[in-house]
Copies of this chain bind each other. A is one copy, B any other.
Amino acid sequence: MKLYEKQRLEIILERMAAKRAGRILEAAGVSGYTVLPALAGFGGETKWQRDADISASRDMVVMVVIADAAEIDVALDQMQDLLADHIGVLNVSTVQVMRPDLF
User: For the complex, what is the distance from the CA of A66 to the CA of B31, rounded to whole Å?
Assistant: 26
A1-49 contacts to B (CB < 8 Å): 1, 3, 6, 8, 10, 12, 18, 22, 25-26, 31-44, 47
User: For the complex, what is the distance from the CA of A96 to the CA of B76, rounded to whole Å?
Assistant: 12
CB distance from A21 to the nearest CB of B (A): 11
User: For the complex, what is the distance from the CA of A103 to the CA of B96, rounded to whole Å?
Assistant: 20
Do the beta carbons of A43 and B32 come within 8 Å of each other? yes
Do the beta carbons of B80 and A8 come within 8 Å of each other? no
Do the beta carbons of B32 and A64 come within 8 Å of each other? no
Offer 21 A-B interface pairs, CB within 8 angstroms, sorted by A.
A1-B80, A3-B92, A10-B64, A12-B34, A22-B42, A32-B41, A32-B44, A34-B40, A34-B62, A35-B39, A35-B41, A39-B61, A62-B64, A66-B91, A76-B98, A79-B98, A80-B98, A89-B102, A92-B95, A93-B93, A93-B95
